[in-house]
Every structure is written in structure tokens, then in C-alpha cells.
A and B are shown apart, each in its own frame.
Chain A
Amino acid sequence: GQNIDQPTEMTATEGAIVQINCTYQTSGFNGLFWYQQHAGEAPTFLSYNVLDGLEEKGRFSSFLSRSKGYSYLLLKELQMKDSASYLCASFSGGYNKLIFGAGTRLAVHP
């Protein structure tokens, strides 16, 4: 089977750091992905982890532990424009079926 879980909502303060967690159970693991989606818009790709460890990309970093079926997205120096939904996704059974979690709505406050 396949299952991707992440918290429904989070709030944080401008300038702070926030960590969004994701746990997954998918058949034939081939990578864990994070997407950002602003309200009413299409998702945009943020990161891709296939090996354990931390991948840093500017203010955003993504971590993966394959043995624990766990990933997180770390957002530093939060800005108001970071208010969005963050979607965790993983391949299921090969490289062509990308399954998404329900998303975490992040609200950044001044």
C-alpha cells in the first residue's frame, strides 16, 4: 500500500524557522519530493531527496531518512510570501506514479 502523512496546518512568525514533517509508506521507494502551492495556483517543485541526509537549497532544506520513512522540509528566515501549502510526494511502484500527501498549510505571521 501507499500512505503519506503530514500535519494539516502550522503557523510561524516572520523571520523564524519552521520544520514541516512527512512520513511515508510507499511500495518501491524512488525518492521523496516537496512542492509549494500558493492558494489558487499550481504546485511548484522545491526539492528531491533519494539518499539519506540533508539537502540545502537557499532558505529551504529537505531531509530524508529512508529507514524511518521520514522526511522534513526546513524553512529558514521565514517571509510572508512563504505562506502556502507544502506538499510531500513520493513515487509509488516505479518512476511514473507520483503520489501526494494532503499538504501542510503554513501561515506566516508578522
Chain B
Amino acid sequence: DGGITQSPKYLFRKEGQNVTLSCEQNLNHDAMYWYRQDPGQGLRLIYYSQIVNDFQKGDIAEGYSVSREKKESFPLTVTSAQKNPTAFYLCASSNSGQANTGELFFGEGSRLTVL
């Protein structure tokens, strides 16, 4: 079945460690996104990518890094520079450009907790 898969679902990290969250899609979408959600809050855009080998910073990119070496994959690294990384991380994909109707397909999310 087509869809978008995030892993791991739950992750615990010690302070000072980098962690990488995986996001894979087989929907043949050009655009992929990473959002962060804090308890009781909306979604804030971290990074987005419209095409392979290209990505742009969103509103809260500091302390995060991404890569887009393959169309299907858009991993997010939470670095030690991110001062408050405990949050729910959501990956999404969509068509790009004017074919983008705003319908994002989301993964199930990764819940990161810093100990």
C-alpha cells in the first residue's frame, strides 16, 4: 500500500546526542516536509524539500538538519544545538508546484523525549 512511514515511533535521547528520524514515502511525491508539534500547539515547519537534492529552511530550522538524496527519503537530524528537542515530529509529503492542492499525507509521527 502507498503511504509515508516514519521511524522510530518513540525515541529517547540523552542531552548532547544527535538523533536522526527517518521518513520514507512511496507515493511518488516530489515535496516532503518536517513539522514539529509541542503539546497543545499547532504544527511548526522545520524544513521542506520540493525536489531531490534541494531543501529550504522553515520557521524553526535552528538545531536541525536534513538531506534529500532520494525522492523517497527525507531524514531529519536533531542536533545537540537544538535546545528544547522534546516534541512530536511529523513528516509529510505532497505533490509540488501548482499540483500541490495542500493535501499533505502525514506519517504517524515520531515522539522524541530528551532525558
User: Which A residues form the contact surface with B (CB < 8 A)?
Assistant: 31, 33, 35, 41-45, 48, 87, 89, 91, 95-103, 105
Contact = CB atoms under 8 A, between A and B. Distances in A.
What class of interface size applies to chain B in its complex with A? 20 to 34
Given A98-B33, A100-B42, A42 B96 contact: no
Nearest to B99: A95
A45 B96 contact: no
Interface of B: 31, 33, 35, 40-45, 48, 50, 56, 58-59, 90, 94, 96-98, 100-104, 106-109
Contacts of B104: 35, 43, 45, 98
Contacts of B35: 100
Nearest to A88: B42
Given A96-B50, A96-B96, A98-B33, A43 B101 contact: no
A6 to B, nearest CB: 9
Contact of A96 (B41, B97, B103, B109): B97
Contacts of B45: 97-100
Contacts of B106: 42-44
